[in-house]
């Protein structure tokens, strides 16, 4: 099958969850199908990504999403019902380029990532599949709860627009996918159970990596630090949880790992808190920490950071919100905390009790290995595509 994968950014390097999902899906799909990548680009250097993706794609077409034009579209969208993040990418010029791309390579199925790029499906004669990934409308509503008055108003308005837009997608695409059943149930449409759950996976061979016996850090948190849910989690960890830990274990050292951290996070660096920024290989940090703590307060979807840490036998503590998508067993494969005090108690307990720490680490690794492999996830996605073609 000739498949066009349509993205709003280049899926390499792998420093965001959507990039990771797209990259591994492309890699696995290329084993059975001819994959043609069409993606937009704002300001990233495309050379490294193009070289890597050509290992798996028959063709890689990267087109510029001009920022000035995008900002003008945002302005005019403010007076319509169109979601702002849809308007940002809805370029007539780039849509024409994509239509030419589809005709040139005789594409049989187009696979779109996020509702942001959904307008590019209009008028296509080939089969069309949309990957919601997460329920973005709910994500926006949750961000409103953690924002100041003006930002909260914008996020609430965007959430309502997205909810309507997400429901409209059922009449546009031949099939729809999403990462977790939790997010599927958050969709506003009565047809939500038609959406196929295609989970994220973990590269088991890549994360089969030697651990360091002497750990540099007691705990770490990681993520794309320009992303609001990660900012909120990092600040919550350092400002609310760690003071309670340091009262009982004064020498505990931690790190916040990931690029794009704002000043509100960078200012929290200290002798006990490293903030190294972007790192090329997260394994080099997972291997030298005793714990991984992800106190997610907002956001939706499956946290790849948890899959990766658990795959490397790092015991994890997280929130009910994050584990709703992950589905690990509390007290056996992971620890679930709901307050700063409970997080602090679990951190101290795992740092003090090696038997418990090892048990959570080993059980967590087995859970991820048994339930989150990219091969199985993408085989299911391939089956969705084949059903669309057979219609």
Q: What is the DSSP string of 176-187?
A: EEES-HHHHHH-
Task: Confirm if 298 and 142 have CB atoms less than 8 A apart.
Answer: yes
Give the model's pLDDT for residue 299.
81
Give the model's pLDDT for residue 16.
86
**Domain enclosing residue 84, as ranges:** 2-201+373-390
Do 195 and 296 fall into the same domain? Answer: no
User: What integer is the mean pLDDT of 260-268?
Assistant: 95
Task: Confirm if 199 and 377 have CB atoms less than 8 A apart.
Answer: yes
As a whole-number percent, the residues of the chain with pLDDT over 90 amount to: 91
Mean pLDDT (the chain, rounded) = 95
Helix (H) or strand (E) holding 320: helix 320-326
Do 367 and 377 fall into the same domain? Answer: no
Say if 319 falls within a structural domain.
yes
What's the pTM?
Answer: 0.87
Which of 386, 257, 367 is closest to 310 using CA atoms?
Answer: 367
Do 178 and 242 fall into the same domain? Answer: no
Give CA separation, 77 vs 24, 153, 158, 230, in Å.
Answer: 33, 16, 11, 28
Say if 207 falls within a structural domain.
no
Give CA separation, 228 vs 182, 201, 231, 264, in Å.
Answer: 20, 23, 5, 11
Kindly indicate the confidence band of residue 17, based on its pLDDT and cuts at 50, 70 and 90: confident
Residue 384 has pLDDT above 80, yes or no: yes
Do 161 and 189 fall into the same domain? Answer: yes
Do 63 and 108 fall into the same domain? Answer: yes
Phi-psi region of 277 (alpha: psi -120 to 50; beta: other; left: phi over 0): left
Do 249 and 362 fall into the same domain? Answer: yes
Residue 357 has pLDDT above 90, yes or no: yes
Residue 175 has pLDDT above 80, yes or no: yes
Return the beta strands (E) in the chain as ranges.
Answer: 2-7, 34-41, 59-64, 109-113, 127-131, 175-178, 196-197, 217-222, 254-257, 273-277, 289-294, 316-318, 335-336
Residue 42 has pLDDT above 80, yes or no: no
Do 288 and 312 fall into the same domain? Answer: yes
């Amino acid at each position: 099958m000739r498949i066009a994968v349509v993205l709003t950014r280049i899926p390499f390097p792998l420093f965001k969850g959507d990039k990771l999902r797209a990259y591994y899906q492309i890699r696995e799909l290329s084993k059975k199908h001819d994959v043609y990548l069409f993606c937009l680009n704002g300001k990233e250097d495309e050379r490294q990504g193009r070289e890597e993706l050509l290992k798996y794609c028959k063709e890689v077409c990267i087109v510029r999403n001009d920022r000035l034009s995008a900002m003008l579209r945002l302005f005019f969208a403010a007076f319509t019902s169109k979601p702002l993040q849809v308007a940002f990418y809805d370029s007539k010029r780039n849509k024409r380029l994509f239509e030419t791309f589809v005709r040139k390579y005789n594409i049989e199925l187009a696979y779109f990532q996020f509702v942001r790029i959904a307008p590019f499906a209009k008028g296509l004669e080939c089969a069309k599949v949309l990957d919601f990934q997460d329920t973005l409308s709910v994500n926006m509503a949750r961000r409103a709860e953690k924002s100041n008055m003006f930002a909260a108003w914008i996020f609430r308005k965007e959430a309502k627009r997205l909810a309507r837009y997400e429901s409209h997608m059922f009449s546009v695409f031949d099939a729809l996918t999403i990462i977790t059943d939790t997010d599927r149930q958050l969709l506003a449409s009565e047809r939500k159970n038609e959406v196929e759950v295609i989970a994220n996976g973990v590269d088991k061979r890549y994360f089969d990596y030697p651990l360091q016996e002497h750990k540099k850090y007691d705990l770490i948190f990681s993520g794309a630090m320009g992303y609001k849910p990660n900012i909120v989690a990092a600040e919550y960890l350092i400002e609310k949880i760690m003071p309670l830990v340091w009262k009982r274990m004064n020498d505990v050292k931690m790190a916040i790992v990931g690029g794009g951290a704002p000043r509100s996070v960078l200012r929290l660096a200290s002798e006990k808190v490293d903030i190294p920024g972007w790192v090329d290989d997260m394994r080099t940090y997972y291997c030298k920490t005793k714990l991984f703590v992800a106190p997610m307060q907002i956001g939706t979807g499956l946290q790849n950071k948890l899959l990766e840490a658990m795959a490397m036998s790092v015991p994890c503590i997280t929130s009910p919100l994050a584990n709703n998508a992950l589905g690990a067993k509390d007290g056996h494969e992971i620890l679930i905390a709901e307050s700063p005090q409970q997080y602090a108690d679990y951190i101290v307990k795992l740092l003090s009790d090696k038997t418990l720490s090892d048990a959570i680490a080993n059980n967590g690794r087995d859970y991820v290995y048994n339930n989150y492999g990219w091969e199985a996830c993408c085989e299911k996605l391939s089956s969705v595509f084949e059903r669309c073609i057979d219609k």
